[in-house]
Structure 1
Amino acid sequence: MFRSFSNVNYRIWFGGALVSNVGGWMQATAQDWVVLTELTNNDAAAMGATMALQFGPPLVLVSLTGWVADRFDRRRILLTTQTALLALAVAVGTLLLLGVMTLPMMFCFAAGFGVVNAFDAPARQTFVSDMVSASETSNAVALNSASFNLARMIGPAVGGLLIVAIGSGWVFIVNAATFLAMIVALMLMRRSQLAPRPKHRNRGGLAAGFRYVWGRSDLRVVFVTVFLIGAFGMNFPIFASTMAIEFGAGADGYGILSSILAIGSLTGALLAARRDRARVRVVIFAAGGFGVFAFISAAMPTYAAYAVTLMFTGFTIVTLLTTANGYVQTTTDPALRGRVLALYMAVIMGATPIGAPIAGWVADTFGPRTAIMLGGVAGLVACAIGVTWVLTSGRLHRDENRRFLMTLDETRPLSVIDEVDPVEFSDEAAATTPIRTAKKSS
């Protein structure tokens, strides 16, 4: 489960990221609560607009951010983006403490955070592959998710308590200080042990990454699933905050809901770390599980019952996202990895500007329970698309043949036979993975 910790650079990275992620979740809680209760009168649509502005830039700038992640030193990119995020957090916190923050100003800052994160996200995701070996990449991605969700257990609850105790402005200032942990971690890394960037880089720009994804049916299924869940299912700030208000809870109650969600999320991430590799079928079934638990949580009559269901919701969503991320990273041509991951991040983050305003409007018009059920429908649709792909692509039939061959030839090493799972790796993926293709041919 923790095999990536054998790498000293990854240990340094994990510690810095954990501290920074705690601060990030504190700030996210404060920002949502400021927009919902301090700058508006419980306006979920305004909250959806803020999320759209924050998560829209990755979609708009995807052609540039993926190229930057492939072209330049990722460690330097991250040092630049983390410093910029620190400065933005200080600015927002100061304006809140001075009492001059307005909703249009918060919209502008949300867009600013979005632009910086548009460059930070693909560089951060691909940097994992620079720190660890190819065989450890999937595990490292899952542990990153565990760090993110462990912080999610701590950050929102602490953020909610700090909002009540000292005010939302100070939460932004505290988060600014936590960025220093990531900056220091990046500076302490042993650069000689980082993987060199590929000498040969595909010059096709974003178009090359798009053609690569489009040419692989397995990646198309993963991207469609992530889009549907990202657009309509991952609007937790809207769901949890409006449900907290419906149950009569305050900022601390909202923060606690976010932390309870993270309990299931952390469990999902750790179980993903135990798997030897990422599998498409896990993504498909997790989407269906998310849809089911979304409907269950929407029907809960009390705050406590709703909070319990969030653990299962968090488990399924993080299982889906961690597995999808690991699958994309481990099966993509290294020369195109930055652009493909930029597309992936654009899909997952760019889907929010589409779904968040819709979810906010539905929550305002029909109530938060209906908005949650809309996310559940998206999960079930994504699962249906994935199952249809498995049944029509012939992967299931080839998987059954593989198991039959294993029973016929028990003297053949399992590691060789099981190297390529036809349900998980398409023919297109095998063509871009020479080692696996050779073993399959043998």
Structure 2
Amino acid sequence: MDARGCGEPEPSSCGGKRLERSQPKTLQAFRNRTFRTLWSASVVSNTGGMIQLVGAAWLMTLLSSSERMVALVQASVTLPLMVISLIAGVLADNYERRSVMLAAQIMMLAVSSLLATLVLAGWMTPWLLLALTFFISVGTALHYPSWQASFTDLVPREDLPSAATMNAMGMNITRSLGPAIGGFVVATFGIGAAFLINAASYLAIIVGLAAWRPIRPERRLPRESFYGALEAGIRYFAASSNIINICIRGFIFGFAAISMQALLPLVARDVLVADAMVYGLLLAAFGSGAVCGALVAARIRSHLSIEQICKLSFVVFALAAICLAYVGHVWISCLALFVGGASWININSLLNVAVQMSVPRWVLGRMIAIFMTFIFGGMALGSWTWGMVSESFGLQAAFVAAAIVLFCGLLWGYVWPVLAYPATDLDPLNHFKAPAVRLDLNSSSGPVAIMVEYEIAEGDVAAFLQAMETWRRIRLRDGARRWSLLRDIEAPDHWIESYHVASWTDYIRHVDRRTVADQHVLERLTALHCGQKPMRVHRMVGRHMISRAGSASTAPFPEPI
């Protein structure tokens, strides 16, 4: 499927031109005070979450002797991030994102406080611990799509790479420091203290979100139903080949690269024959590499395209994985983990930015949620897969197999490269004029059929069909159904494009979703139209029964733009 089929402007490919050399510096997003405040609060909150995870895992070893129950602690954390992300994306696009984040943080504060209270009172059980850990992770899953989609509200478009990179760096800082702090807190002050610290950590971001006053865009249309919004997000994803490609590359990398973190305890124990202190050193090396990789990310982006950075990250991580399996030296292993961490943050932040810069605001939360589902799904499946491979065939075989998958991801990029969109204008076109409606319509009137008439000269038919294929995908992406293109057998120059939408509201919403980037396709079709009069548009509403006079609702409907 061609990426241009979605009505997107000509993107640059891996072998094409590089990104603009005027890329923002890595810390550019910190110029925005609100982003700086919320980022700092997010780091504090995520660190508290890592402390809570350490406490929960250790508490489970005291509550149950079953290895399965201990493993379920990690599963209760990752499962909501896979299952609930798309629901969270619908909420992020349908409601004010600040309110969604506040609700998620308050929910996590309440559940964490309950968890700490039950532990301190001595009333905790294994299944209750899993349930509360699961609900805390539900709050995290609800928070992330709204938080990442809010970058467009917090910083200018040119600072989005910086914001995404700093967000990824913040998460890796917490992954590096959180377990160490958590272990110290649990050993020194007890498990209850770890849960109390986590509960308190949510206050910082709650205060930051409460103080933020984002600009609320005027809502001219009724809010989409949950299932309608879910269907619209999936439909947009299915019609956006570049987003699909980004998610697949993210899944491949997450599936293979998680082997390094999942098998790292075995590397410390079996390859290096070391203790927990060396394991902590290895974790610190990976986290330090991620932080340093984030700091040089902008410089790398100024010299390489997104696809070139993706290929480099796949290769470097594969070599680092092989090095871990065969080199039994602590400091060389730390070096491998350092470059692995740098590759990890560069590819994840770049793919995240590619999603954010490739979709319009109305569906941004859902696309980020789908991207997160692919990433976390790959990691969850990879953790289980490489553990099974290591147990059955050995640690070295697991790392070699993961490296082979990474090299397959490298080859994928030569066939389906990730495309860069440095200058796409995804703002609403806002050129729609309300038709002269002479029927009593309300927001639910429908179905609505639309027919557009074209006059195309015989010599322009090939160009018309090519442009119409792109236009068809734009229509379907934005909500059209049952699209068709008809040619008059008696007057071959006469063409009719037709499609349906479920209701009058859906039609207004469909037209409202058209972006400035789609305008060039419409201009091309207009230029090919050779009729003496402009293209004629017919909008017709379906009638399933004859209603009594005056029974139709005449509720006022907001005038579309």
Written as runs of structure 1 = structure 2, the 5 A alignment for 1:361-400 is 361-366=388-393, 368-390=395-417
> CA distance change for structure 1 residues 418 and 87 in 2, over 3 Å: closer, same or farther?
closer
Compare 74-83 and 195-204 and name the one that shifted more: 195-204
Alignment of 1:37-52 (within 5 A): 38=62, 43=67, 48-52=71-75
Q: Counterpart of 1:210?
A: 234
1:117 match: 140
Choose the corresponding residue for 2:183, options 131, 147, 160.
160
Counterpart Cα distance in 2 of 1:257 and 1:88: 32
Amino acid at match of 2:41: G
Q: Is contact 1:280-1:324 (8 Å) kept?
A: no
Q: Distance in 2 between matches of 1:347 and 1:173?
A: 32
Shift of 1:21: 2.5
Residues 158 and 80 of structure 1: CA distance in aligned 2, closer, same or farther (over 3 Å): same
Is 1:107 matched up with 2:134?
A: no
Aligned position for 2:367: 340
The structure 1 residue matched to 2:378, chosen from 326, 351, 357, is 351
2-structure distance, mates of 1:278, 1:34: 46
Superposed, 1:1-20 pairs within 5 Å as: 1=25, 2-20=27-45
Q: Which has the larger radius of gyration?
A: 2
Question: Which TM-score applies when normalising by structure 1?
Answer: 0.78
- The two structures have a TM-score, normalised by structure 2, of 0.63
Check the 8 A contact 1:129/1:137 in 2, yes or no. Answer: yes
**Runs of 5+ in structure 2 lacking a partner?**
1-24, 425-468, 475-513, 524-561
Following superposition, the deviation at residue 368 of structure 1 comes to 4.8
CA deviation after TM superposition for structure 1 residue 184, in Å: 1.3
CA distance in 1, matches of 2:220, 2:308: 34
Aligned-pair Cα RMSD in Å: 3.5
Q: Distance in 1 between matches of 2:314 and 2:218?
A: 34
2:267–2:324 Cα contact (<8 Å) kept? no
Match of 1:133 among 156, 160, 169: 156
Alignment partner, residue 326 of structure 1:
353
CA 210–261 in structure 1, closer or farther in 2 if over 3 Å, else same: same
Alignment map for 1:140-289 (pairs within 5 Å):
140-189=163-212, 191=213, 193-194=214-215, 196=217, 204-234=228-258, 238-246=262-270, 247-250=273-276, 253-274=278-299, 275=301, 279-289=306-316
**Structure 1 residues 104-162: Cα deviation after superposition (integer angstroms, max 9, x where no partner):** 33432342233222211211111121111222222211111222223333222222333
Distance (Å, rounded) in 2 between the aligned partners of 1:42 and 1:248: 25
Q: Which amino acid aligns with 1:118?
A: A
Cα distance, 1:326 vs. partner? 0.7
Return the alpha-carbon distance in structure 1 between the equivalents of residues 122 and 266 of structure 2.
Answer: 25
The 8 Å contact of residues 150 and 262 in structure 1, kept in 2 or not, is answered as yes
- The structure with higher relative contact order (CA 8 Å, sep 6+) is 1
How far apart in 2 are the matches of 1:272 and 1:433?
30
For 1:244 and 1:253, how far apart are their aligned partners in 2?
7
Tell me the alpha carbon deviations over residues 320-375 of structure 1, each in whole angstroms, 9 at most, x when there is no partner. Answer: 10000011001112111111111111111233443333334344455555444443
Deviates more, 1:235-244 or 1:12-21: 235-244
- Comparing 19-28 with 241-250, greater Cα deviation is found at 241-250
For 1:128 and 1:338, the matched residues in 2 are separated by 11
How far apart in 2 are the matches of 1:324 and 1:69?
Answer: 20
Amino acid of the structure 1 residue aligned with 2:244: R
Contact 2:165 2:345 (C-alpha < 8 Å) held by counterparts: no
2:343 match: 316
| Structure 1 residues 60 and 359: alpha-carbon distance in aligned structure 2, compared to 1, 3 A threshold | same
* Aligned 8 A contact 1:233 1:374 in 2: no
Could you tell me how far apart the structure 2 residues matched to 1:34 and 1:117 are? Answer: 21
Deviates more, 1:193-202 or 1:121-130: 193-202
3-state DSSP of counterpart to 1:226: helix
Question: Is the aligned partner of 1:296 residue 2:296?
Answer: no
The answer to whether the 8 A contact 2:255-2:381 is kept is yes
Report Cα offsets for 1:93-114 as digits up to 9, x if no partner.
4455556655433432342233
2:237 and 2:243 in contact (8 A); partners too: yes
Identity %: 26
Greater strand share, 1 or 2? 2
CA distance in 2, matches of 1:368, 1:270: 32
Closer, same or farther: CA 34–258 of 1 in aligned 2, 3 Å: farther
Task: Mark the CA change 1:62 to 1:263 in structure 2 (over 3 Å): closer, same or farther.
Answer: closer
Aligned partner letter, 2:36? R
Shift of 1:81: 1.0
The Cα shift of 1:62 comes to: 4.2
Tell me the distance in 1 between the aligned counterparts of 2:91 and 2:392.
Answer: 42
Q: 1:220 to 1:374 in 2, by over 3 A?
A: same
Which has the larger helix fraction? Answer: 1
CA shift digits 1:259-298 (9 cap, x unpaired): 3211111122222345469824323431232222112122
How many residues in Structure 1 have an aligned counterpart in Structure 2?
A: 404
Taking a change above 3 Å as real, the CA distance of residues 172 and 318 of structure 1, as seen in their structure-2 partners, is same
CA contact (8 A) 1:221 1:386 kept: no
1:112 maps to a residue whose letter is F
1:52 and 1:357 in contact (8 A); partners too: no
Once the two structures are superposed, what CA deviation does each residue of 1:51-92 show, in whole Å capped at 9, x if it has no partner?
333222243334422211101111111111112222333344
Return the alpha-carbon distance in structure 2 between the equivalents of residues 84 and 223 of structure 1: 29
Instruction: Please list the CA deviations of residues 181-228 of structure 1 after superposition, one character each: whole Å capped at 9, or x if unmatched.
Output: 111111222x1x546377678875233323333333322221112112
Kindly state the Cα deviation for residue 47 of structure 1 after the two structures are TM-superposed: 5.4
Matched, 1:82 2:109: no
For 2:218 and 2:281, the matched residues in 1 are separated by: 42
Task: Evaluate the alpha carbon distance shift between residue 111 and residue 316 of structure 1 in structure 2; reply closer, same or farther with a 3 A threshold.
Answer: same
1:59-70 equivalences under 5 Å are 59-70=82-93
